[in-house]
Chains A and B, each alone.
Chain A
Amino acid sequence: MRTDGTVLSIEGLKVSLPHREGTIHAVRDVSFDIGRGETVCVVGESGCGKSMTAMAVLNLLPRGARREARGLHWRDEDILKAGERRMRDLRGDRIGMIFQEPLTALNPSLPIGEQLMEVYRRHRPRQKREARARAIDMLGQVGIPNPEERLSQFPYQLSGGLRQRVVIAMALMCEPELIIADEPTTALDVTIQAQILRLLIDLKDRFGLALMLITHDLAVASRVADRIVVMYAGEVVEEAATAEFFARPLHPYARGLLGCLPSAHAGQRDAPLQVIPGTVPSLIGELTGCAFRDRCALAEPACRARIPLTDLGGHKVRCIRADAEEGAS
């Protein structure tokens, strides 16, 4: 169906989880595409369904979770109906995954060399010797000195930054076309964060990777993204090319987020830190209408109705005032 260079296409994704007090609708309506070699940043606060979206793509949701979608395509293959066997072949091979916590994402009882090589051996059987060479090569690519000696080391012998490099090397072992990185820099020191981010950008260009970067940090997104997808309470509320988004954010929530960046008030030393009043609505039970309306200064009765994601010439927004907003700016 898709021949236009799209590697991943998500249409109307919904994920729900059983819970004591009812069903949690963690992902309520998510649609976006990722093109070949493109970097898409999925931005939103914790609990907005970013990680669930990623896990839903790989079909690695927790037990009991339900996944629905109008469409879910890997290139032109429908992976919504793909069996576990096919998904297993895609994971780690075509789609690499980088997790938030490098401390716990690696197995404490296995040498890192083994953890690197096993992905390769799993997806390229009968290539044991190549696996070792590839592991050394990848550790070098992610900037780890003396890669050969590192193979026999255990995760606890490496610093947090080095561990995250190992996790990245692991995701790259089979030359994937897409890397899904879930808050890859959040657990790291600020200086290490910058290094890892630079490494990701660099690797993406070197290997021609598509990157789905999940982050709550707009500053990170502004540096790496080609396109930005903003999520709120399980929905995509805005999607736009990076420059367009930062120049003209349309959704009140996105504007609020940008207003919260301390740099938005650069030069005003005594400017108070901006916050968005209120809290994210509960995701237990059905939620109709705009999820942001209780925190929105522009809310009106019409916001209670279901609001579709409207495409305004490539800039998509889920807000009834979208047209007006556009006109105003």
Chain B
Amino acid sequence: MERYAVRQFLLSAAVLVVVSVVGFVLLRASGDLAQRIAGSEALAADVEKVRIAYGLDRPLPIQYLDWALNALRGDLGRSLFFPEDVSTLIARRLPITLGLAALGLGTAIIFGILLGTISALKPNGLFDRLALGGAVLGQAMPPFWLGLLFIIFFGLHLGWLPVSGSETWRHFVLPTAVLAIATMPTIMRLTRSGMIDALRADYVRTARAKGLFPFTIVFKHALRNALIPVVAIAAVQLGALMGGSVVLETVFGVQGLGYLAWESINRADYPVVQAIVLVLGGIYCILTFISDLLHAALDPRMRAQ
């Protein structure tokens, strides 16, 4: 188990390095940063001054190493727009995004597992068909579009909930619902197929031959085995949710990391964008790592390796 953990950890670290390099290079490939900072009307001489002032004239590998080494020490540079360190900025916005993603995922897990389990009890029954149909619909609808529909219906038409901002818990209801609807189908389908397999397994027949109650058989014997792949996926999905936050936070005006990323791209605030890519990538790697460990913890056979 320890060796497995160390190997997965090193793998995550390697992935993070690649992500940071790709993010760094893509940002610079997207256009002349000095020109964008100085403004499109700026004189060539001023653009050159900006280039030298921000060190953008140096070779790319040097720029990267300079930034990466500072980042390792926790110094992500200063924002070009806010009078703050990038790390302070991110520290203030990250909890909002994390919280939203966790709420969305939590809701999706609860309902996904419940619906998936009920569907599996009678495969191809009425409930199963309805749930599967709903899942296809939920997966097919782009979150930003569903978000807009929710804003129009629940916010403007019914007037139940605020449509923009992140001041009170009520602001989080709609974005959470959208995230949950986008994430639930995967969890539901995995639970369903895992449960169908588990309910056919020999150990379930044994459990029935022991006279156990159906509730015990389903929730103690079958679900435990059916959930192993679900847990692995759920952690990875949290990372995907955080990546998707850029769009959703913009739609709902939630002042999180995603919204900050969108704003900073528009403002050519490249230290912030770079840092957000790194942080989101890092979270994704950590979650994948946790997911691997959880998977191992749930499946005793993997623990042995």
Contact = CB atoms under 8 A, between A and B. Distances in A.
B167 interface: no
B206 A93 contact: no
Interface in B189-215: 201-203, 205-213
Contacts of A170: 206, 210
Contacts of A134: none
A156 B210 contact: no
A122 B213 contact: yes
Contacts of B224: 107, 109-110
Contacts of B202: 99, 101, 104-105
A299 to B, nearest CB: 39
Interface in A280-328: none
Contacts of A101: 202
B29 interface: no
A91 B301 contact: no
Given A99-B202, A104-B201, A108-B203, A92 B301 contact: no
A110 B221 contact: yes
B75 interface: no
Interface string A91-105: 111000101010011
A157 B303 CA distance: 11
A156 B301 CA distance: 7
Interface in B202-261: 202-203, 205-213, 216, 220-221, 224-225, 228
B203 to A, nearest CB: 4
B91 interface: no
A220 to B, nearest CB: 21
A122 B228 CA distance: 26
A206 B296 CA distance: 42
Given A156-B301, A156-B304, A106 B203 contact: yes
A170 B203 CA distance: 12
A122 B208 contact: no
Contacts of A118: 210, 212, 216, 220
B299 interface: yes
Contacts of B210: 91-92, 97, 118-119, 122, 170
Nearest to B223: A109
Contacts, number: 77
Given A110-B224, A156-B301, A156-B304, A105 B211 contact: no
B83 interface: no
B279 interface: no
Contacts of A58: 209
B225 A109 contact: yes
A90 interface: yes
B225 to A, nearest CB: 5
A92 B217 CA distance: 14
A308 to B, nearest CB: 33
A99 B221 CA distance: 17
Interface residues of B, number: 23
B298 interface: yes
B208 A109 contact: no
Interface in A122-164: 122-123, 154, 156-157
Nearest to B212: A122
B192 to A, nearest CB: 17
A104 B202 CA distance: 6
Contacts of A91: 208-211
A105 B203 contact: yes
B209 A154 contact: no
Contacts of A108: 203, 225, 299-301
A104 B203 contact: yes
B212 A92 contact: yes
Contacts of A89: 211
Contact of A106 (B206, B220, B301): B206
Interface string B268-305: 00000000000000000000000000000011110010
Given A60-B209, A122-B213, A156 B203 contact: no
Contacts of A105: 202-203, 205-206
Contacts of A93: 211
A88 interface: yes
Interface centre among B202, B221, B301, B304, by most chain A C-beta atoms within 10 angstroms, is B202
Nearest to B302: A156
Given A107-B225, A109-B299, A123 B206 contact: no
Contacts of B212: 88, 92, 118-119, 122
A91 to B, nearest CB: 4
A90 to B, nearest CB: 7
Contacts of A110: 220-221, 224
Contact of B221 (A97, A107, A157): A107
A90 B211 contact: yes
A98 to B, nearest CB: 9
8 contacts: A60-B209, A89-B211, A92-B211, A99-B202, A107-B225, A109-B228, A156-B300, A157-B304
Given A107-B221, A119-B212, 16 more contacts: A60-B209, A88-B213, A91-B209, A97-B210, A104-B202, A107-B206, A107-B224, A108-B299, A108-B301, A109-B298, A110-B220, A118-B220, A119-B210, A122-B211, A156-B301, A156-B304
Q: Which 4 A-B pairs have the closest CB atoms?
A: A92-B211, A91-B211, A92-B210, A104-B202
